[in-house]
Every structure is written in C-alpha cells, then in structure tokens.
C-alpha cells in the first residue's frame, strides 16, 4: 500500500514556462512534506518543505502548495530552467509513534526542461 504517490512518471516543459509536479498521500497522520531533487549518480538533494499547518511555502523559483482536504501537494517551478531537469521526489513525515524522522517517499517524477 503506497501512502505517497506521484502519478506522473515524467513531465516535459519548455524553458521559461512553469513546471508543476504533483503528489498525493493517503495517511492523515503525515504532518510535514518535503520535495527532493535527484540527478543521475547523485543522492537526493533537499529542495523545499512545508508543514501541515501551512498551505504554501515559497523559496525563490520554487513554491510548494498543500491542500490538506484533498491530501495533495504540488511543487511549482517558475521559470523552469534546463538545469532543473532531474527526478523529483515528494516525501512525507509520519507524526505518530517512535519513528524518529521517518519519511515515506513517492516513486518520483522525471522532469525534462527543453531549451
């Protein structure tokens, strides 16, 4: 049972346009959400996060939106740049139990930004 899902395996966007990556979750006990970016032959790199008490967090070109009622979050990249081409993972932190900092990851979405 996959609790964090990224239903789009890939996304192709023109340079300068907006990239929107989506993520859905099923567990209402998740209280913190993160986005990671991964280049080939490297580990995932933390990008941006949002607490469940907020609905938006912005950092430069990156904005994460959280819709708790829909159990949905999205990452917006504006404007998209060729260097943004990578695999993007969303992750969620479980608030309960003794699982210190345990994160559950989605399958990832491959973003390709064309010049």
How deeply is 103 buried, as exposed, middle or buried, from its count of CB atoms within 10 A (0-12, 13-18, 19+)? Answer: middle
Identity of the residue, 74 or 104, whose beta carbon is nearer to other proteins in the bound complex: 104
98 near other proteins, judged by CB under 8 A: yes
46 near other proteins, judged by CB under 8 A: yes
- Within positions 52 to 81, which residues make up the interface with other proteins, using CB under 8 A? none
Six-digit token pair at 4?
């964090």
> Among the candidate windows 13-21, 55-63, 70-78, 106-114, which touches other proteins by CB under 8 A?
106-114
Binding site for other proteins (CB under 8 A): 2, 4, 32, 34, 36, 41-46, 49, 51, 89, 93, 98-108
């Amino acid at each position: 049972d996959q609790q964090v899902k990224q239903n789009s395996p890939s996304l192709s966007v023109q340079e300068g346009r907006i990239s929107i990556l989506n993520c859905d979750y099923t567990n209402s006990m998740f209280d913190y959400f993160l986005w990671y970016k991964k280049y080939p032959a490297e580990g995932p790199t933390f990008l941006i996060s949002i607490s469940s008490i907020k609905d938006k967090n912005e950092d430069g070109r990156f904005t994460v939106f959280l819709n708790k009622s829909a159990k949905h979050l999205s990452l917006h990249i504006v404007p998209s740049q060729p260097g943004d081409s990578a695999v993007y993972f969303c992750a969620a932190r479980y608030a309960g139990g003794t699982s210190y900092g345990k994160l559950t990851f989605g399958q990832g979405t491959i973003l390709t930004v064309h010049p």
